[in-house]
Amino acid sequence: MDITGTAAIVTGGASGLGAATAAALAAKDCRVFVFDLAAAIDSAQAVDGIEYVATDVTDPASVKVSVDRASSISGFPLRVVVNCAGIGPSARILGRGGVHDLDLYAKIVQVNLLGTFNVLAIAAEEIARSEPDEQGHRGIIINTASIAAYDGQIGQAAYASSKGGVVGLNLPAARDLAQYGIRVNTIAPGIVETPMLATLSEEFRSSLAAGVPFPKRLGKPDDYARLVLALIDQDYLNGEVIRMDGALRMAPR
């Protein structure tokens, strides 16, 4: 699918996976709209071709306003949506402080799963209004899960649940939106060098990298961005969840 002269939305694009993806799409002559919280946008780096829009992905009204803004300002058809927004606090079901806080569990699911679905649904409505290309393609939505959906570790009950929901959403979403010429795929990254991981010591990060079968390194945001571009380009890939983890299978802790 040719994305030159089209619009793209990247959630959580002020940093990490989303920032690398937004930059990669902008380099392909996409007009990119990054949806993120205002506080995150304040510290984001200015990049040509990227506009930052303060958005709460869990709020349907906020997402609708932002999608409408992206469509009206760009004047280009919306073809690409990449959902990278997410949070990952950890807590055990039974910890030193007692039972896992239900509000924390709900918050993680709300951002990671409900937020993903919210943007997917509202953006799909806009994409479906556009004219298809010669092959009937209107666009692609790429969601972000995690290998925690399959190999959730101790303390990841909420996070693994939310990402497992994203995996479960993938196929029915692809089937629902097929009639509109919209593909849906999901990337499940392993351990990636994001700003959060950068707070850990070099020694600890090296130990994490040593556990990856091959290549024996941590993932990089650019790895994710390149995979996004590949999914856009390969138009027969639909309804797929792709692990991006160097064959890593996580131990319990």
What the block records as the tokens of 159 is 């996070």
Contact 149, 163 (CB under 8 A): yes
Pairing of strands 94-95, 98-99: antiparallel
The alpha carbon of 102 is separated from its chain's Cα centroid by a whole number of angstroms, namely: 24
Angle in degrees, 0-180, between the axes of helices 60-74 and 115-128, rounded to the nearest 10: 40
Marked catalytic residue, from 52, 105, 150, 159: 159
Is residue 159 part of the annotated active site? The answer reads yes
Q: What DSSP element (H or E) covers 99?
A: strand 98-99
Closest C-alpha to 86, from 224, 229, 232, 237: 224
- How big is the CA angle at 223 (ends 157 and 41), to the nearest 5 degrees? 70
Closest C-alpha to 185, from 81, 59, 103, 102: 81
Q: Which active-site residues does the annotation give?
A: 159
